[in-house]
Amino acid sequence: MRVLVVTAVPVERDAVTRAFGGGTEVLALPGAELHRTGAFDVLAGGVGPAAAAASTAFALASAAPSPYGLVVSAGIGGGFAPAAPLGSLVVASAIVAADLGAETPEGFAPVTALGFGRDRFTPPPALVREVASATGAAPGPVLTVSTVTGTAERAAALRAAHPGALAEAMEGFGVAEAAERAGVPVLELRAVSNAVGPRDRAAWRIGDALAALTEAFGKTAPVLEGWHRHDH
């Protein structure tokens, strides 16, 4: 089974490919490079849900005659303390568009409450369990936001609206939208580089998170290679 891994930026892409031990073939796509190692194609698709959706959709459409059996949104992200501390891993049990909707006098209303669209995707539960077991990642909802949280008030509002959420990032929902339209299952795996809340760049641990991402994919690769869509 071929696996498409979509990150936001090249440094995340390179952290993933390091897990596979070299031998990477670089394939040119319009506006991007696809780094192929064995069964894995890794793409730095851009920052935010729109770029992620467009890049993922293009890669999926370009995959013939060897279509993908799984798409993984991967990278670093913010963790909700204390459940997801710095350097830890999170695997999404749900991929949630946390700011897709409308502001109302009563507060934020998700797009589903407006009577159209969807605001979440559910990765295969059995695969989530297997990846969590292999890597030590905490399973739980991962929020997709277009604006990274920078205040305690916003962090509290997200936690109130999405109880149990473990992390936030900017691409998962876009990757999932493209995968869903292509009929391909999706997974999201994040290494926590910072706490969701007031921005404190001095406290971020990007290097540690990238190292954790590499280690996670080293442990995840055998799980993904052995997984079949009919597994439950």
Tell me, what's the pLDDT at 148? 92
Where are the domains positioned within the chain? 2-226
Cβ(37)–Cβ(25) under 8 Å? Answer: yes
- What pLDDT does 230 receive? 56
CA distance 45 to 171: 9
Q: How many CB atoms lie within 10 A of CB 19?
A: 18
3-state secondary structure of 56: helix
Outline where the chain has alpha helix (H).
10-18, 49-61, 125-135, 152-161, 172-181, 206-226
Superfamily of domain 2-226: Nucleoside phosphorylase domain (3.40.50.1580)
Tell which residue, 156, 155, 197, 189, has the closest CA to residue 172. 189
pLDDT tens, position by position, for the chain (232 residues)? Answer: 899 999 999 999 999 999 998 778 988 887 788 999 989 999 999 999 999 999 999 999 987 667 899 999 999 999 999 999 999 999 999 999 998 888 888 878 888 888 888 899 999 999 999 999 999 999 999 999 999 999 999 999 999 889 999 999 999 999 999 999 999 999 999 999 999 999 888 888 999 999 999 999 999 999 998 887 655 4
* pTM score above 0.85: yes
Largest CA distance in the chain: 56
Q: At what angle do helices 10-18 and 206-226 cross, to 10 degrees?
A: 50
Q: What is the DSSP letter of 147?
A: S
User: Percent helix, strand, coil in the chain (nearest 5)?
Assistant: 35, 30, 35
R_g of the chain, CA atoms, integer Å: 17
Determine the Cα angle at 31 with ends 30 and 32, to 5°.
Answer: 95
Quick check: helix, strand or coil at residue 78? Answer: strand
Question: Counting beta carbons within 10 angstroms of the beta carbon of residue 32, is it exposed (0 to 12), middle (13 to 18) or buried (19 or more)?
Answer: middle
Report cis status (omega within 30 of 0) of the bond before 82: yes
Sign of CA pseudo-dihedral 110, 85, 150, 209: negative
Q: Do 86 and 192 touch, CB atoms closer than 8 A?
A: yes
Given a contact cutoff of 8 angstroms between Cβ atoms, the answer to whether 90 and 167 are in contact is yes
